[in-house]
Amino acid sequence: MTDRSLHLPVAAQPSVDSLVELAAFGESHGYEYAWLPETWGRDAVTVLTAMARETDEIGLGPSIVNVYSRSPALLGQTMTTLQEVADGRLRAGIAPSGPAVIEGWHGIEFDRPLRRTREYLEIMRAVMSGETVNYDGDIFSLAGFRLRCEPPSEPVPIDAAGMGPKSVELAGRFADGWHAIVFTPDGLEDRLEDLRRGMELGDRDPEDVRVTLSVTACALEDGDRARNLARQHLAFYVGAMGTYYRESLARQGYEEAANEIAAAWASGEQDRAVERIPDPLLDDLGAAGTPERAREELEKFAAIDGVDDLAIGFPRGADRNEIEATIEALAPDH
């Protein structure tokens, strides 16, 4: 059976406590993990620490932290510390992010994203092993240091996020799992082929590579409100978050719609961008509507062979009551 997790809101929340409360609310409803995005709001590490202190059973992890703004050794140290605080419940998620965030926010050149991801995976594992790290890569060279604390008693799995064929292949070959976002069922099937190819190249056991699919969901008694919120969220991702979501949709058969959404957003016509999302596209990418409809829509993703975890995400415009209503309606214990 496919696990059910939470992909906590990417939109700004009122406080750290509000995010902690959502994680605890998810825990009380039987969710497997609480995944926390990190963009240009609160940093993931501080919030995950607070979550670890106020929860007992739910798994915790960033989805995702980027491979530019912290060194790979620092991320290894950080995940070691978070694993201690979380009593072994941590699972890390890393990825390059994209040039809009890396260059525009962090001021770092978006260079060799796939190679960086691979070297981060290798260095983080070396750091968390507790052994002396001697590493000579194309980008990073480290020598002579080891952790000054005990390594994690439970190894921290490191997942990689990605949308393109090569990044997904890399996740299958080197990471402990793959995090997917903004995929249609057919588009996900294509990328799962890339993941399996990566597993074959890395001589991996498929049981050792966990697939987490984040699905934007909104389940409200006012089904029209739920679908409008999901439309607005998708328009923002395609129109405002650089080119990679648009390119991913184009690969999945929605090139014309993706270009129209992006063009409208770039022209400052956000309402028109939202209108350019037809019902079939909305249904292909999420689960929005009344609770009954949202649960039905979610099943098409749960039925995909190879998906281990459905992470329920939320529209940027959803308020606290709407987020909690969706958590309740789509909970694994419902």
What residues form DSSP beta bridges with 177?
Answer: 159, 210
pLDDT, position 248: 83
Please report the pLDDT score of residue 239 as a whole number: 85
pLDDT for 245 equals: 82
**pTM of the entire structure?**
0.94
Q: What's the chain's average pLDDT?
A: 95
Can you give the pLDDT at residue 38?
Answer: 96
Instruction: State residue 246's pLDDT score.
Output: 85
pLDDT recorded at residue 198: 98
At residue 252, the pLDDT reads 82
* Spans of the chain below 50 pLDDT: none
Distance CA(126)–CA(301), nearest Å, equals 35
